[in-house]
Amino acid sequence: MRLFVGAVAIALLAGCVSPGELESKDPSISASTGKDPKRYALCVLPRWQDARSDVTLSETEHGYRLIAATNNMTDELLSIRKTSKGSAVKLYQRMAWAPGYGRSDMEQAVRSCL
């Protein structure tokens, strides 16, 4: 019984992840592109939306941010920041080692839009 309660507690704690907490970890993908942030974001957005319906795009002070979240948990976060030569792109994943719905399509979109 203790094992079951411990496993449930760990699962609940692992699920509570905000975008800021996710960005404090190492990115799964870190790359750069010659495209400006808006152009890159508009390339990735429809592909992410095809993979998952819960994707949002928001403009930040330095670029754009795409987020895929379920039940108030950020699953995937793509940070696109303006640089002098285009954009710096970083993909953060809640559990990068775990297979997820649409995950491979989302990773492929990040790479193919570079």
- The CA distance from 27 to 9, in Å, is 26
- The CA distance from 14 to 30, in Å, is 23
Q: What is the pLDDT of residues 54-65, one digit of tens each?
A: 999 999 999 999
Distances (CA, A) of 96 to 14, 22, 35: 13, 11, 26
Per-residue exposure over 79-102, b if at least 16 CB sit within 10 Å of its own CB, e if not: bbbbeeebbbbbbbbbebeeebeb
Classify 3 as helix, strand or coil.
helix
Q: What is the pLDDT of residues 18-56, one digit of tens each?
A: 777 888 889 999 999 999 999 999 999 999 999 998 999
Residue 12 has pLDDT above 70, yes or no: no
pTM: 0.80
